[in-house]
Chains A and B, each alone.
Chain A
Amino acid sequence: MLDQPSALIDIRGVCRSFPKGSGEQLLVLEKVDLTIRSGEIVGLLGRSGSGKSTLLRIIAGLVTPSSGSATCRGETIVGPPNGVAMVFQSFALFPWLTVLQNVELGLEALGVESAERRKRALVAIDLIGLDGFESAFPKELSGGMRQRVGFARALVVHPDLLLMDEPFSALDVLTAETLRTDLIDLWIEGRLPIESVLMVTHNIEEAVLMCDRVLVFSSNPGRVATEIKVELPHPRNRLDTYFRQLVDNIYARMTQRAEPRAPTIEGIPGTGIGMTLHHVSSNVLSGLIETLAAPPYRGHADLPVLASQLQFEADEILHLGESLQLLRFAQLSEGDLMLTEAGTRFAHLETDARKKLFAEHLITYVPVMGLIRRVLDERPSHTAPAARFRNELEDYMSEDYADETLKTVVSWGRYAELFAYDEQSEMFSLENP
């Protein structure tokens, strides 16, 4: 397969930024290089916000790069290129069209005449295991069947490159696994009318299971941190030692860069006031601390093991770990999560004492919390509008992230009883009702 490596997609030094709330640009992709050749499955693996979906959309011609070059078969990508089809995380099926009509849609757009269209659509439907469902509407189907329609719709146009944007993440574990195996089976039997696949995922095992090459992305801004070749023959066995090693290895690489951030350096995205907080319920945090403190972990857990026991995706467990690390209740390193002394203490406290400890850590380690509390203390009215802090946050991050950060601030602040927040007037205050 790799004898004659012709570049299908060639990405050189691509950057992409989006306007921030303050009008400046927020860099989400920085100098990414990627070549996709014929006959390979390439995976883009990374945390949410690492720009991997943006890269996929650049290749799909839905987003233009801010700088750098993106070519498909040597031609610069302007608008969706021919020979590239996409499968969506949310399926993106038209609810008012039947399965057959959905599958025929791409062919209609290409102007394929109706008998040929019908024939090709039925072949694709047959291939993907949907026969019998041709006249069903999407809402009559289960999630797994819907995504099969998504696959059939993409395959029917015989694309050279199939783009998949987290195609299995909206499905339950069993369905996702069946669909993955079916797809890989078709791929190794050479029955898919495609040359290459590019898939975005945040599921480490999924990437190792399906891809020939995995590009691991780091966040803030999104960059290719490392490239890992998976040289296991299909079908792959999840329990295989080499497989496990690769998964552990990738976990370690993804936690590597997550050093505790110095809260004093302001002006750099991701630190100081501009630190983006991901919304994690304080209940989940307490639960995780308790789990970590209890046997069998006793304060020290291997992330893949913890993730599979608690049924979390890699991305979720990393978010949780990072939130704990931010609050100095735990420490992430080399794919492990270890409770700190404060974390252990937290696990053994009563509710009120926990709240007090949580509040102390919030004030000390989360700069925006300290800021809000300081402003409230200083003002004679002991109230402050949320807009005041939002503006400050938007100097550092996009509106969406500012939203999420504020939501987190409100929820943690309420739990810690640091301040009250009135949703209707959007005011912070020191009142304690």
Chain B
Amino acid sequence: MKLQVFRTAAIGRALRPNVWDAAALFLVIGAMVLIVYGGEQTVAPLSELERTPVSLDPANLPLYALRTVLRMLLAIVCSTVFTFIYAAIAAKSRRAEMVMIPLLDILQSVPILGFLTFTVVFFMNLFPGQVLGAELASVFAIFTSQTWNMTFSMYQSMRNVPKDLEEATQSFHLSGWQRFWRLDVPFAMPGLIWNAMMSMSGGWFFVVASEAITVGNTTVTLPGVGSYVALAIQQQDLPAIIYAILAMLLVIVAYDQLLFRPIIAWADKFRFEQTASGDPPTSWMLDLFRRTRALRAVTLPFSAINRAVSNLRISLPRLRPSADSKSQPSRLIDGVWLALVLAGTAYAAWLTYHYLSASLGLPDVLIAIRDGLITLLRVIILISLATLIWVPIGVWIGLRPKLAERIQPLAQFLAAFPANLAFPVFVVAIVRFKLNANVWLSPLMILGTQWYILFNVIAGASAFPTDLREAAGSFHLGGWRWWTRVILPGIFPYYITGAITASGGSWNASIVAEVASWGDTHLNATGLGAYIAGATEAGDFPRVVLGIATMCILVTLFNRLVWRPLYALGERRLRLG
């Protein structure tokens, strides 16, 4: 983290420790020790896992939580590195962009949990007999859940860098490398951080889901909160599940307070506004660091390294010719490139067909599509229900600033909480009251994602201009007319953003929500999620591929035909200010 380095005063006193030093120092050393400890565990041989199986003793929970957190950290680091590289290439090279951006769009809608099947096998083979392979598979699952929207955001920022700043970097002879660190990255920072936060929220869900994996007859249980819960389900231990939920609550609060809030407060300076913002975000953690002289001194080498790295005279090729350069891109090379891409696509399609047709027939495809449509129906009904419930509540809260201030963090927190930890509680109820699984398992899909709708609506209602509200009041607009003419159009863009996230999350959740178990009782709802989950458990790879492909296509179609036009409408017509 690069803190503000330059100060004219305070020279000479900079190294004398102050009151805050002790606290901050312990935080740093503690974090280091934890990371090293967790890291040591991951390189242990796989047999170690069998010797010390996951136990339900609550005393072990802090350590399990630590392992879970480290996986998350590693994944976010990987996601960030990937984002920088992928987005930079896509933004700088026109030909790469033609392939990379649509690819990204599809990858966004791939059900990550379906992925696990392949990645576990792959990574286990990469590091045979070591925990590392399973760990990496888990990290990779989280990575795939986080990285796409971050990459998208970075790419869009890089394409929208203000022209005058671009000209300034050129005019002052900044190299491509310098420009990347001095202009592209800082400009992309606010969007990137927001998306990283959204990704983290989603990520907890997957980290929990990926810790206890069964593929065919291989079962890997990585120590973590997720595997703890899986064991608790097996042993029908409801108190253990409650402990796990509490541990997770603490972890998310700590993550938010110790990592994300400071980063957001720090990144406020990257917001591309020429005027000071009214109410900048604050963080006690960042204040702690800024007030701590010795710690600030510790950060100095880091900023020096940061500077040195960004000033390395590495000349990156200027791949994208500036828009007004004279040279026209060569048609011939374009043609060759297009042909290559088409050939690659055709080969991949043929390969997929060949693989699938070897063991599956048309009836299988029809079953997958039928199940897909059932899950689609679930998603639509659930989003509609959540809308009916949360939009009025969100508006009511959002229009009361005092209340919104208190509720908003709670809603964001609930969105981040991995809902799959709470599934058993519901499953117990379903089992006990003998409810219909097809109906009552469905709400689990939206348990964790409905909060996106709520907090976006709250944000929209809070941002609704007071003068418009007053105008509506003075014209005696009330009741139904007030909803349809005033507030609903006002919050529409926010609502759509929330609903898109919620619907994407629900598709993913269907894989763990449509099948549930409690001890020996197994509940099964018909749907594409259950189809994929079943195929994964049976190690039936062709069916897994078919299920994932079907879900991909459905999600992409649904996004293109429903969400994107709505989003465009909201941005074009209803964005206030």
| Cβ of B13 under 8 Å from chain A | no
In the complex with contacts A18-B324, A85-B172, A96-B269 CB distance below 8 A: yes
| Cβ of B175 under 8 Å from chain A | yes
Interface contact B186-A96, CB-CB below 8 Å: yes
Query: Contact partner of A85 among B8, B171, B275, B311, CB < 8 A?
Result: B171
Point out the residues of chain B lying under 8 angstroms from A62, CB to CB.
Answer: 167, 170-171, 322
Point out the residues of chain A lying under 8 angstroms from B273, CB to CB.
Answer: 95, 139
Point out the residues of chain B lying under 8 angstroms from A100, CB to CB.
Answer: 6
Interface contact B324-A63, CB-CB below 8 Å: yes
In the complex with contacts A98-B6, A100-B6, A139-B171 CB distance below 8 A: no
| Cβ of A88 under 8 Å from chain B | yes
| Cβ of B182 under 8 Å from chain A | yes
Point out the residues of chain B lying under 8 angstroms from A95, CB to CB.
Answer: 269-274
Point out the residues of chain A lying under 8 angstroms from B573, CB to CB.
Answer: 424
Q: Give the docked Cα–Cα distance between A274 and B325 (Å).
A: 26
Q: Give the docked Cα–Cα distance between A88 and B163 (Å).
A: 11
- A64-109 with Cβ < 8 A to chain B: 64, 66, 79-80, 82, 84-86, 88-92, 94-96, 98, 100-101, 105-106, 108-109
Interface contact A92-B164, CB-CB below 8 Å: yes
Interface contact B269-A88, CB-CB below 8 Å: no
> Total interface residues on A, using CB and 8 Å?
41
Interface-located stretch among A130-138, A265-273, A292-300: A130-138
Q: Which residue of B lies closest to A79 (CB)?
A: B170
Point out the residues of chain A lying under 8 angstroms from B326, CB to CB.
Answer: 64, 66
Q: Give the docked Cα–Cα distance between A427 and B324 (Å).
A: 32
| Cβ of B332 under 8 Å from chain A | no
Interface contact B6-A80, CB-CB below 8 Å: no
Taking the closest CB of chain B, its distance from the CB of A377, in whole angstroms, is: 30
In the complex with contacts A88-B164, A94-B165, A101-B6, A106-B272 CB distance below 8 A: no
| Cβ of B124 under 8 Å from chain A | no
Taking the closest CB of chain B, its distance from the CB of A68, in whole angstroms, is: 12
| Cβ of B434 under 8 Å from chain A | no
Q: Which residue of A lies closest to B327 (CB)?
A: A64
Q: Give the docked Cα–Cα distance between A60 and B269 (Å).
A: 30
| Cβ of B313 under 8 Å from chain A | yes
Q: Give the docked Cα–Cα distance between A61 and B167 (Å).
A: 10
Q: Give the docked Cα–Cα distance between A66 and B178 (Å).
A: 29
Q: Which residue of A lies closest to B326 (CB)?
A: A64
| Cβ of A433 under 8 Å from chain B | no
Taking the closest CB of chain A, its distance from the CB of B242, in whole angstroms, is: 45
Interface string of B136-180 (1 = CB under 8 A from A): 000000000000000000000000001011011011111100100
Point out the residues of chain B lying under 8 angstroms from A111, CB to CB.
Answer: 311, 313
Taking the closest CB of chain B, its distance from the CB of A61, in whole angstroms, is: 8
| Cβ of A359 under 8 Å from chain B | no
Interface string of A141-176 (1 = CB under 8 A from B): 000001000000100010000000000000000000
In the complex with contacts A64-B325, A101-B6, A134-B8, A80-B165 CB distance below 8 A: no
Interface contact A138-B178, CB-CB below 8 Å: no
Q: Which residue of B lies closest to A54 (CB)?
A: B324
Q: Give the docked Cα–Cα distance between A39 and B164 (Å).
A: 27
> Total interface residues on B, using CB and 8 Å?
35
| Cβ of B276 under 8 Å from chain A | yes
Point out the residues of chain A lying under 8 angstroms from B324, CB to CB.
Answer: 18, 63-64
Q: Which residue of A lies closest to B9 (CB)?
A: A135
| Cβ of A2 under 8 Å from chain B | no
Point out the residues of chain A lying under 8 angstroms from B172, CB to CB.
Answer: 80, 85, 105-106, 109, 153, 157
Taking the closest CB of chain A, its distance from the CB of B540, in whole angstroms, is: 49
Interface contact A109-B175, CB-CB below 8 Å: yes
Q: Give the docked Cα–Cα distance between A358 and B208 (Å).
A: 70
Point out the residues of chain B lying under 8 angstroms from A153, CB to CB.
Answer: 172
Q: Give the docked Cα–Cα distance between A50 and B377 (Å).
A: 59
| Cβ of A140 under 8 Å from chain B | yes
| Cβ of A110 under 8 Å from chain B | yes
Interface contact A80-B170, CB-CB below 8 Å: yes
| Cβ of B374 under 8 Å from chain A | no
Query: Contact partner of B274 among A89, A101, A138, CB < 8 A?
Result: A138
Taking the closest CB of chain B, its distance from the CB of A137, in whole angstroms, is: 6
Point out the residues of chain B lying under 8 angstroms from A90, CB to CB.
Answer: 162, 164
| Cβ of B300 under 8 Å from chain A | no
- B171-220 with Cβ < 8 A to chain A: 171-175, 178, 182-183, 186, 189
Point out the residues of chain B lying under 8 angstroms from A98, CB to CB.
Answer: 4, 6
Q: Which residue of A lies closest to B7 (CB)?
A: A135
Point out the residues of chain B lying under 8 angstroms from A63, CB to CB.
Answer: 324
Point out the residues of chain B lying under 8 angstroms from A64, CB to CB.
Answer: 324-326
Interface contact A80-B276, CB-CB below 8 Å: no
In the complex with contacts A64-B326, A86-B168, A95-B272, A108-B178 CB distance below 8 A: yes
Q: Give the docked Cα–Cα distance between A146 and B186 (Å).
A: 19
Q: Which residue of B lies closest to A17 (CB)?
A: B326
Interface contact B274-A105, CB-CB below 8 Å: no
- B256-280 with Cβ < 8 A to chain A: 269-276
Taking the closest CB of chain A, its distance from the CB of B573, in whole angstroms, is: 7
Write 23 A-B pairs (CB below 8 A) sorted by A numbering.
A64-B324, A64-B325, A66-B326, A85-B172, A88-B167, A90-B164, A92-B167, A94-B186, A95-B270, A100-B6, A101-B6, A105-B182, A106-B173, A108-B178, A110-B173, A111-B313, A135-B6, A135-B8, A139-B273, A140-B276, A153-B172, A157-B172, A424-B573
**Beyond the given A80-B173, A89-B164, A139-B274, could you list 4 further A-B residue pairs with CB under 8 A, ordered by the A residue number?**
A62-B170, A62-B322, A96-B189, A146-B274
The 9 A-B pairs of least Cβ separation, nearest first, read: A92-B164, A106-B172, A92-B168, A109-B174, A86-B171, A96-B186, A96-B270, A109-B173, A90-B164
Taking Cβ atoms with an 8 Å cutoff, the residues of B that contact A are 4, 6-8, 162, 164-165, 167-168, 170-175, 178, 182-183, 186, 189, 269-276, 311, 313, 322, 324-326, 573
